[in-house]
Structure 1
Amino acid sequence: MTGLQTLNGSARRLATAPTYGDPFSLLSRDFDRMIGSIFGDRATASKAVADGQEAAQTLLSPRIDVHETEDHIELSAELPGVEQDDVDVSVLDGVLTITGEKKSTRETNEGARVVERSFGSFKRSFRLNDTIDVDNITASFKNGVLVLTLPKVAEQKPEPRKIAVNG
């Protein structure tokens, strides 16, 4: 089991109304459901998005891959069209948060015939457990992919302590 739990994403959209039109939102929902099944029901929790922005938040929610080895967890987030300076990664109270903004290259959509690309801010959070060394997390950004390396704390195996027997 990895030391990572999804805190926000699309878990609450599992509710009653089916989602049509965007197959990626369905994949995101299924991914969050899978993460929830791995870490338990309390692992996924969607943050309510105010003012009807949930659809836009879904489209801008970065797609995440998580790979685990014996000594670290690697989290890769796809951020196409996002500049490195517009991405922020932080850890506070055991919660890793990726925030950013995809900015439009045009100031206005005047004269547009079709606009399918989405723009705006995004946020994705993960709860880290005690097996992650939060002081040594590293991040790199190349070709629109953010890669976070989360090293694990070296396991300290308890050694038996010799107790002198006095007579």
Structure 2
Amino acid sequence: MHSSEGGRGRGHRRPHYGPRRPKHNVPVNILYTDTGFEAHVFCVGFAKENIRINLTNDLIYISGTRKPEEEYPDFLLQEYPVKSFERWFELSEKVDQAGITAAFRDGILVITAPWLPTAQPPEREVKVE
């Protein structure tokens, strides 16, 4: 299996575990519901104080920072990031941006974004002539 993120053809052999994940990204699962959507961001090892969520225009930016002086080993296999990350997603015009909330538990950041309420036409009776 080849990937743009590395693996073969670099002059050295390393164990092949599939495509390597970029070190600056974290995995995200997105779930759509009847009331909105949830983004579950894998932030294991990050402190809540070092995670930022910003809304700009129709984009949501998610970032996590670590102190640059922290030392990390040269992992043989690295499947979750240990360095700072940044992700962004475009929001649908159906999202109520004022209602977006976030919670951080057990290394998972859960961002909840409700849908805007849809205007329902007023109910009325139609007379049969």
In the TM superposition, what is the alpha-carbon distance from 1:82 to its structure 2 partner?
0.7
Q: What is the CA–CA distance in structure 2 between the aligned matches of 1:157 and 1:129, rounded to whole Å?
A: 20
- CA RMSD, aligned part only? 2.8
Report the residue type matching 2:6 in the other structure: T
SS in structure 1 of the partner of residue 84 of structure 2: strand
Match of residue 55 from structure 2: 91
Match of residue 65 from structure 1: 29
Answering whether residue 55 of structure 2 is matched by residue 120 of structure 1, we say: no
In the TM superposition, what is the alpha-carbon distance from 1:94 to its structure 2 partner?
1.0
Match of residue 35 from structure 1: none
Report the residue type matching 2:63 in the other structure: T
CA-to-partner distance for each residue in 1:88-120, whole Å, 9 max, x for gaps? 00111010010112447x7556xxxx5316543
Match of residue 103 from structure 2: 140
In the alignment, which of 4, 20, 23 is matched to residue 18 of structure 2?
23
Q: What is the CA–CA distance in structure 2 between the aligned matches of 1:124 and 1:152, rounded to whole Å?
A: 21
Count of aligned pairs between the two proteins: 110
Match of residue 119 from structure 2: 156
Report the residue type matching 1:62 in the other structure: V
Q: 1:65 to 1:130 in 2, by over 3 A?
A: same
Q: 1:18 to 1:132 in 2, by over 3 A?
A: closer
CA-to-partner distance for each residue in 1:65-85, whole Å, 9 max, x for gaps? 111111110110001111101
Q: What is the CA–CA distance in structure 2 between the aligned matches of 1:133 and 1:22, rounded to whole Å?
A: 40
Match of residue 101 from structure 1: 65
Report the residue type matching 2:100 in the other structure: I
Q: Is the 8 A contact 1:81 1:102 kept in 2?
A: no
Q: What is the CA–CA distance in structure 1 between the aligned matches of 2:102 and 2:109, rounded to whole Å?
A: 7
Q: What is the CA–CA distance in structure 1 between the aligned matches of 2:5 and 2:37, rounded to whole Å?
A: 33
Q: What is the CA–CA distance in structure 2 between the aligned matches of 1:22 and 1:102, rounded to whole Å?
A: 26
**Which residues of structure 2 form unaligned runs of 5+?**
8-15, 125-129
TM-score of the pair, normalised by structure 2:
0.71
TM-score of the pair, normalised by structure 1:
0.56
Report the residue type matching 1:74 in the other structure: E
In the alignment, which of 46, 51, 54 is matched to residue 82 of structure 1?
46
**Which residues of structure 1 form unaligned runs of 5+?**
1-15, 29-57, 162-167
